[in-house]
A = this chain, B = another copy of it.
């Protein structure tokens, strides 16, 4: 039985009818990645929401930070693992494989990050990501102290927390729309 080929259960508008700024982005994606990520297509149902989502995404995942891009992708996958989000695990699992050149690391982040061999700082970051995702109400000074002890600055802690927070948003948009990842992610960097 062939797997689902929808992008979003709430429907996706005709890309040819999108505003010009979005069409430009669509073309750039095809040039660079070979495809338009389905999260953009799903979000294009409400164009201004998409613009805000992309602005926030780019700032959190791609701007300067004390956390490397790989570390931010690792956090993304661990949050998505806690929330069992199919779209984000497939898309950001691929990103971990690509950025690390280590296919097993991607699998470990997606399936159970505790089995991975990590330095103390990364392990502290991922333990925090899991707790802030599952029981945010229990986060207290002890958790912040553990991050400081592992070498994170206040700015790093802000960036880490916002990465966790953002994927708690995007995991829920993906689950809400039954968003399916582009098939290209599955084979990438295996």
How many A residues are at the interface, by size bracket?
Answer: 35 or more
B84 near A112 (CB under 8 angstroms)?
A: yes
B168 near A108 (CB under 8 angstroms)?
A: no
Of B89, B118, B136, B166, the contact of A175 (CB 8 Å cutoff): B136
Give this chain's copy count. 6
Is A27's CB within 8 Å of the partner chain B? no
Of B1, B2, B4, the contact of A119 (CB 8 Å cutoff): B1
List 14 A–B pairs whose Cβ atoms lie within 8 Å, in order of A's numbering: A10-B157, A46-B158, A49-B158, A84-B111, A85-B136, A85-B137, A89-B111, A90-B111, A104-B186, A114-B140, A136-B172, A139-B176, A158-B177, A161-B176
Question: Which residues of A are at the interface with B, using a C-beta cutoff of 8 A?
Answer: 1-4, 9-11, 45-46, 48-49, 52-53, 55-56, 59-60, 63, 81, 83-86, 89-90, 102-105, 107-108, 110-112, 114-119, 132-133, 136-141, 144, 154-155, 157-159, 161-162, 164-166, 168-173, 175-178, 180, 183, 186-187, 190
